[in-house]
Amino acid sequence: MLRHVNPPLHPTRRDLFRLAALGGVAGSLILTQARAAHAATTFSPIRPPATPLAVRSPYLSTWLRADTLPGNWPTFWAGAVTAMTGIVRVDGQPYVFMGAPAGGWPLATQTALVLTATRSAFTITAGPVRLDVEFFSPVDPASLRRQSVPMSYLSITATATDSANHQVSLYVDVSGEWAHGDRAQPISWSTQTAGTQRVHVFQPSAPSVLAEAGDQASWGTVVFSTDDGPGLTWQTGADTTVRARAANTGALPSTADPNQPRAINASWPVFAFNRALGAVTAAGSGPSVFVIGHVRTPAVSYLGTQLDPYWRTQWATWPEMLAWFRADYALAKTLGAALDAQVNTWAKEAVGTAGVSEQYAALCSLAVRQAFGGTELVSRGGAPWVMLKEISSNGDFSTVDVMYPAFPAYLRLSPRWLELLLAPLFDYTEVRGFAKPFAPHDLGVYPNAFGHLPNGPNGQDEEDMPVEESANMLIMVAALLARMPAARASAYASAHYAKLKSWADYLVANLPDPGNQNQTDDFTGFIAHSVNLALKGIVGIGAMHTIARWAGQASSYSATARQYVSQWLVMAQNSGNGHLKLTYDGADSTWSLKYNGFADRIAGTNLVPPAVATEEASWYLQHQHAYGVPLDPRHAYTKVDWELWTAAFLTGQTAARDMLIAKAYTYANSTPSRVPFSDWHDTDSGSQSGFAARPVIGGVLALLALRPALNGLTQVVRGDGSFTVMARVNPADLTGFRTALSQDGARVSGFYLQYSGSDNRWAFAMTAADADNTAATRALSTAAPVLNTAVHLAGVYDAEAGQLRLYVDGALHGQAAYGNGWPATGPLVIGRGRWNGAAADAFAGAVADVRAYDHALPATTIAAAAGLATSQVAAFEFDAADASLTLDGGAVLGGGYSGTGLQLNGSTGFASAARLVDTAASFSVAAWVQLAAASNFATVAAQDGATQSGFYLQYSAADNAWALAMVAADSANAAATRAVSPFPPRVDGWTHLVGVRDASAGRLRLYVDGAPVAETATGPSWAAGGAFTIGRGKWNGAGADHFPGRIDQVRVWTRALTDADVRAIG
């Protein structure tokens, strides 16, 4: 992880006060201004060490290292100023609301800062006007399209605080410092339009591609834009000149500085916009939205091959991407607010203790942008890979022992993100000739993955951590498999089984004593016979047993791991049985944070006896300092990520768990070290010991990562916290008890979604304890079920309200008071329950559309899900033979988006079913598709008429884009109406398509990867009465437009889906 530690950097630029002789004066002045602006500031839910402003990637990472935006410069994560200036002019009086420009203008007063997982929102007053200044960096790893954009939003709203009207203008600029880390480097610039945007563009005049200066990229283009139109003026020029003009006149001349290229520090060029808002009242101005971004092509180098950023698979040019990103703002804000709320709710539920749960939620919210901001999406031949930079320690490329502490955030928010993060490492070790018998430490130094290969340019020299990295990979993979759909998990485990087995065999041969091996906490000093490292390795062996199960392979790894952990316990225990030691051969008084106990929990290996957690918890309570528990007694410092991993290990030890959370919060909330959330700090002073802005802070989400799992080998929901389960059921027998959905405990199920024969009602039931003949509490339907009639059932356990709720077809039917639940740790089971240690209450009939959530869904969401379920007429998963579907022309089942899918040759293959929709009425069709070639028309789904298809969800070769098309009549060469995507398709990558015909509105709508991308009037309608086809259409009486590639999860509804519906199914 660490070869050297750089001291924290601090801003050195204060606008005009750049001369060394004035440095002290400037510093004093700025601090004085900041104190004045801070006088009445409140912080919610935390006063961050540094506030994330524009944080999207390792090279777009700007922060505020102070309490207040007025009077302080934003900086790059490493400390150098990346200036942004904001001046608001109210009735002719200028106020500075962002930055620390010279000019003598008064500072606006900041009154509040609210921080969420995706937003930093400042409330600032300037005379009689309030500004709401919000920095928003989307975090949406479920949408690779949205997450791939290296841009961030700034929005500003002005509101009068009295009853008068006020003339207001807003000025915002960014400086050339965003373009290069060496301020003596020359830059060039231009101002242009992109769609509805006016854009300032600047870049190094002599870029050094794939190089850095001060950790900033030495190549690439900075993009700064806002909506064009009346009231907007702009200028590029010297900072003092441009700012003074806006402050004094409330407008700019819309001219460019011709003196270019020139050095960043030569008259400090800035790129400015001024927006005249006119008369502002108490009703507010509406948001002025700005976009700031840094675009680079290539993104990185991998073993000598330059890789493009992933966004290049979505848009041909950055102006197209910018136009989409600006248009996506409203939807991105909605999704961001949902994520903010989810992270907050999940974190509070994970802890439950009043006060501490709020502190944990604050830490999680602070960590999210930083965890994802250390990663970025790149394209490898069109396929997505996620790359990670080891920020601030030594800049290594995709460091395994940096991924490992960070991975709880990725696992919780997007297991797919973790899979893409691991993909380059598997390519490197399985395909590219990595020759060592253990897992690698890294791929190189960012942005160059030069590798450590026998015949490579740098040879095999690297920072080997054999047990450390091998176990890290095995543990991450085992945890990932538990959160994949079962068929996909099996395929993934099988694909990587040989390599993972080789690493597991290395661990077997080198444990239970790892000897004098290097490990991730190498900055503490080398130690031999490390107890914590040994535990990690043993858990890694146990994780291999899980991997082998998924791969369908016989395994003795579990037995080996249990044998080793027994030896580990003997060698690690101190003589007084009060705690585990630091090393096997260490003194009884030594100890350490056993954070790898969390690995045992997240990988599901269950090797560590509960007594270990009990004694370790007691020991940590006795050795707490003001700002945390030290890593071990050799030093007073600790690491926040490992403290929260330890808290997750000790979830059953509430006092110790809550102490670790509270200490971490106290540190983050009050540290004097104003750097992006450092994971390494002194537990006595609260000061940073080293490191800043590292993605390892994703480890803060460790308690959240324990909660969900998505398939039948591990726990899905926890009965001791809120959850929701749903299914669409159609009963063929209503005698006795019939359970559609449950989750196993040892003796009984934790919950049952079922038909209750004793009540002749649908029921959502939970049991009092995991014991034979335990009492059950039921929420019942208001009416008896009807045989052979499908209904949508949803059961909600609201732990906070202490209540069970049952919904039938989206309507609330029954409620029941229920006390503390218990966590059933077995699999989610479809079609039976468990009673007195045996399978029971088998369901007779059909169960479909099963969903589980680790929180209590609101009634509106359940109603929407029920509406989706009741209007769905087909769901083709392709995971098994389907009597309703016929495969023709060489169509076969093969690898799909999840499990198996439909493989098509592009010339003759297709699948067909009976007529499903009335094409003259409303309907919707969704599918996951992987297009092999974008050359000819290629139809995903259609429905035959006599001569033409009634609709076509397809790739349109005429437009080089996805489209939903309908023809005017069932006649030869009929005219077609298309809703066409504005961007080309992704080839050889999976895309989610939804086509909607809204007959009542007379509209066609097309969605790509969950986002609405096109809409048009439908034109004439007619009813196609033939077969529903997948993989071809019909044109002029013959099969046509055969799809080349793969199709999976085709779903059909007899109504028009809404935007919210589409987001729910993507």
| Per-residue pLDDT reduced to its tens digit, 741-752 | 999 888 999 999
Assess whether pLDDT exceeds 70 at residue 899. no
Please tell me what DSSP assigns to residue 105.
Answer: P
Q: Which pLDDT value is given to residue 36?
A: 35
Domain boundaries for CATH 2.60.120.200 within the chain = 723-871, 877-1065
Per-residue pLDDT, averaged over 104-116, amounts to: 98
Quickly state the pLDDT bin for 982 (edges 50, 70, 90): confident
Q: Hunting for tokens 């006896």 — which residue is that?
A: 609
Cβ atoms of residues 12 and 22 within 8 Å? no
Q: Which pLDDT value is given to residue 225?
A: 99
| Per-residue pLDDT reduced to its tens digit, 996-1009 | 999 999 999 999 87
Q: What is the CA radius of gyration of the chain?
A: 30
Kind of pairing between the strands at 761-767 and 776-780 = antiparallel
**CA–CA separation, 572 and 545 (whole Å):** 24
Q: Biggest alpha carbon distance in the chain? A: 90
Q: Which pLDDT value is given to residue 164?
A: 95
| Per-residue pLDDT reduced to its tens digit, 239-253 | 999 999 999 999 999
SS3 for 607-661 is CCCHHHHHHHHHHHHHCCECCECCCCCCCCEEEHHHHHHHHHHCCCCHHHHHHHH
| Per-residue pLDDT reduced to its tens digit, 550-581 | 898 888 999 999 999 999 999 999 998 889 99
**Which H/E stretch holds residue 797?**
strand 791-798
**CA–CA separation, 800 and 680 (whole Å):** 35
Per-residue pLDDT, averaged over 600-624, amounts to: 93
Please return the burial class of 12, using the count of CB atoms within 10 Å of its CB with bins 0-12, 13-18 and 19+.
middle
Give how far the C-alpha of residue 560 lies from the chain's centroid of Cα atoms, to the nearest Å.
36
Give how far the C-alpha of residue 733 lies from the chain's centroid of Cα atoms, to the nearest Å.
43
**CA–CA separation, 368 and 250 (whole Å):** 38
Q: Which pLDDT value is given to residue 871?
A: 81
- Tell me the sheet residues that pair with 641: none
Distances (CA, A) of 966 to 249, 540, 698, 959, 1003: 55, 55, 47, 15, 11
**CA–CA separation, 595 and 530 (whole Å):** 13
* Helices and strands, counts by H and E, the chain: 19, 59
Cβ atoms of residues 294 and 150 within 8 Å? yes
Per-residue pLDDT, averaged over 1045-1066, amounts to: 85
Sequence-distant (≥ 6) Cβ neighbours of residue 541 within 8 angstroms: 474, 504, 507, 508, 511, 557, 560, 561, 564
Most confident range, picked from 181-185, 336-340, 720-724 = 181-185
Domain 370-705, CATH among 1.10.240.10, 1.50.10.10, 3.40.47.10, 1.20.58.100: 1.50.10.10
- Tell me the sheet residues that pair with 135: 120, 154
Question: What b/e string do you get for 776-806 counting C-beta neighbours within 10 Å, with b at 16 or more?
Answer: bbbbbbeeebeeeeebbbbbbbbbeeebbbb
- Tell me the sheet residues that pair with 739: 754, 842
Cβ atoms of residues 986 and 382 within 8 Å? yes
Per-residue pLDDT, averaged over 957-985, amounts to: 91
Give how far the C-alpha of residue 504 lies from the chain's centroid of Cα atoms, to the nearest Å.
29
| Per-residue pLDDT reduced to its tens digit, 468-515 | 999 999 999 999 998 886 667 888 999 999 999 999 999 999 999 999
Which is higher by pLDDT, 722 or 487? 722
Give how far the C-alpha of residue 966 lies from the chain's centroid of Cα atoms, to the nearest Å.
36
Per-residue pLDDT, averaged over 676-680, amounts to: 97
Quickly state the pLDDT bin for 915 (edges 50, 70, 90): very high
- Tell me the sheet residues that pair with 155: 134, 289
Assess whether pLDDT exceeds 80 at residue 31. no
Cα angle value 942/1017/874 (rounded, 5°): 30
Sequence-distant (≥ 6) Cβ neighbours of residue 233 within 8 angstroms: 251, 252, 253, 254, 273, 274, 276
Per-residue pLDDT, averaged over 796-821, amounts to: 91
Cβ atoms of residues 371 and 362 within 8 Å? no
**CA–CA separation, 144 and 691 (whole Å):** 29
Q: Which pLDDT value is given to residue 485?
A: 67
Which tokens sit at 842?
A: 């088998």
Q: Which of 690, 702, 762, 678 is nearest to 727 (CA)?
A: 762
Assess whether pLDDT exceeds 80 at residue 772. yes
**Which H/E stretch holds residue 511?**
none
Most confident range, picked from 717-721, 835-839, 1017-1021 = 835-839
Domain boundaries for CATH 1.50.10.10 within the chain = 370-705
Q: Which pLDDT value is given to residue 718?
A: 62
Per-residue pLDDT, averaged over 584-594, amounts to: 96
| Per-residue pLDDT reduced to its tens digit, 826-840 | 778 889 999 999 999
| Per-residue pLDDT reduced to its tens digit, 442-467 | 999 999 999 998 877 777 788 899 99
Half-sphere exposure of residue 934: CA atoms within 13 angstroms, side-chain side:
19
Q: What CATH class has 877-1065? A: mainly beta
Sequence-distant (≥ 6) Cβ neighbours of residue 305 within 8 angstroms: none
Q: Which pLDDT value is given to residue 760?
A: 96
Q: Which pLDDT value is given to residue 645?
A: 98
Bond preceding residue 298 cis, omega within 30 of 0: yes
**CA–CA separation, 685 and 827 (whole Å):** 46
> Is 723-871 assigned to CATH 1.10.579.10?
no
What is this structure's pTM? 0.69
Percentage of the chain lying above the pLDDT 70 cut? 94
Q: Which pLDDT value is given to residue 174?
A: 99
Sequence-distant (≥ 6) Cβ neighbours of residue 739 within 8 angstroms: 749, 752, 753, 754, 755, 831, 832, 833, 840, 841, 842, 843
Give how far the C-alpha of residue 353 lies from the chain's centroid of Cα atoms, to the nearest Å.
26
Task: Determine the residue type at 507.
Answer: L
**Which H/E stretch holds residue 357?**
helix 356-373
Q: Which pLDDT value is given to residue 880?
A: 64
Bond preceding residue 150 cis, omega within 30 of 0: no
Per-residue pLDDT, averaged over 54-67, amounts to: 98
Cβ atoms within 10 Å, residue 573: 17
Please tell me what DSSP assigns to residue 905.
Answer: E
Per-residue pLDDT, averaged over 955-960, amounts to: 92
Sequence-distant (≥ 6) Cβ neighbours of residue 718 within 8 angstroms: 707, 821, 823, 824, 854
When the pLDDT of each residue in the chain is averaged and rounded to a whole number, the result is 91
Q: Which pLDDT value is given to residue 246?
A: 98
Sequence-distant (≥ 6) Cβ neighbours of residue 613 within 8 angstroms: 597, 649, 650, 652, 653
- The dihedrals phi and psi of 1031, each to the nearest 5 degrees, come to 105, 0
Q: Which of 153, 224, 140 is nearest to 190 (CA)?
A: 224
Which is higher by pLDDT, 487 or 149? 149
Give how far the C-alpha of residue 991 lies from the chain's centroid of Cα atoms, to the nearest Å.
18
Torsion of CA 378, 382, 385, 387, to 10 degrees: -20
**Which H/E stretch holds residue 419?**
helix 415-430
**CA–CA separation, 927 and 1052 (whole Å):** 9
Assess whether pLDDT exceeds 50 at residue 14. no
Kind of pairing between the strands at 269-280 and 166-175 = antiparallel
Q: What CATH class has 20-176+232-255+266-296? A: mainly beta
Q: SS3 for 154?
A: strand
Q: Which pLDDT value is given to residue 986?
A: 72
Give percent helix, percent strand, percent coil of the chain, each to the nearest 5. Answer: 25, 35, 40
Question: What b/e string do you get for 609-619 counting C-beta neighbours within 10 Å, with b at 16 or more?
Answer: eeebbebbbeb
Sort residue 691 into left (φ over 0), alpha (ψ -120 to 50) or beta: left
**CA–CA separation, 322 and 315 (whole Å):** 10
Q: SS3 for 774?
A: coil
Assess whether pLDDT exceeds 70 at residue 356. yes
Q: SS3 for 205?
A: coil
